[in-house]
Amino acid sequence: MLRTYTRLVVTVLGCLTSVCIAQNTQTDRIQLAPPLMQVLSPPKDASPQDLEKQGDELRAQKEYLDAIDYYRAAIAKQTTPALFNKLGIAELMLERYRDAGRDFERALKLDRKFAEPYNNLGVVDYKRKKYGSAIKLYKKSIELVPDSASFYSNLGAAYFAKKNFELASQAYAEAIRLDPEVFEHTSHTGIAAQLVSSEDRAHYEYVLAKLYAKVGDKDRSFEFLRKAMEDGYKGVNEANTAPEFAELRKDTRFADLMKQKPPALPE
């Protein structure tokens, strides 16, 4: 039987992934979706693996309601931590925080060493502005998988939200060390999109500019320094003396950038 669902238009506010939502090694992001689509109801004779695969495809297409149906149908036939985690992700994308949290907890009951549900529960708390709890959960996910850049990025986001900029910088620095492109993955859906204040957003961008300068990534450092200037970071002149920008100051682009006043980006 055919059922027609209107795709849910979701406002992009987080990485939910930086905040990044983890599902094994895959990172999921929110974006606006196209219009109508027809999806078959989960076949009763389909295997759990086929139902899970179809759920994954629907979730990749931002058809979260349909993905939920397929994951639930798969769970009815075979209960696994990964299925509950994927179900929770689809629910989280629809901002069904209570349902998502419940299913992440179910995943953990089946496997206490499954790092991704801890991270994703942290995302739920982060979205609810329970930053202290989110930090504890992110740290737990890092204990289990210490080489995940997205986990460190999420931890940095929670510290930043609490205005603990020193610890935020440390977490972001580790995220960059593990994956220099981590903030490009979440550029449209990460913490910058959640910062309501342009001043906070500019501060965040300046912090990233310093971190990229420190590891010698001039191009990305210039990119974030320009963004910080465009968003009106008041302490941008610190770049003229900050030791992190010592090598950057030798580049002719630095003097050119500091001389100009980039037009402010529209809110």
Q: For position 148, what pLDDT does the model report?
A: 92
pLDDT tens readout for residues 145-171: 999 999 999 999 999 989 899 999 999
- Reported residue count of the chain is 267
Return the domain boundaries, the chain: 2-194, 197-267
Classify residue 113 as exposed, middle or buried by CB count within 10 Å of its CB (0-12, 13-18, 19+): exposed
What CATH number belongs to 2-194? 1.25.40.10
Instruction: Report how far apart, in Å, the C-alpha atoms of 187 and of each of 20, 48, 109, 194, 255 are.
Output: 11, 35, 33, 11, 26
pLDDT tens digit sequence for 75-123:
999 999 999 999 999 999 999 999 999 999 999 999 999 999 999 999 9
CB 153 within 8 A of CB 18: yes
Q: Could you read off the pLDDT of 2-17 as tens digits, one per residue?
A: 444 334 333 333 444 3
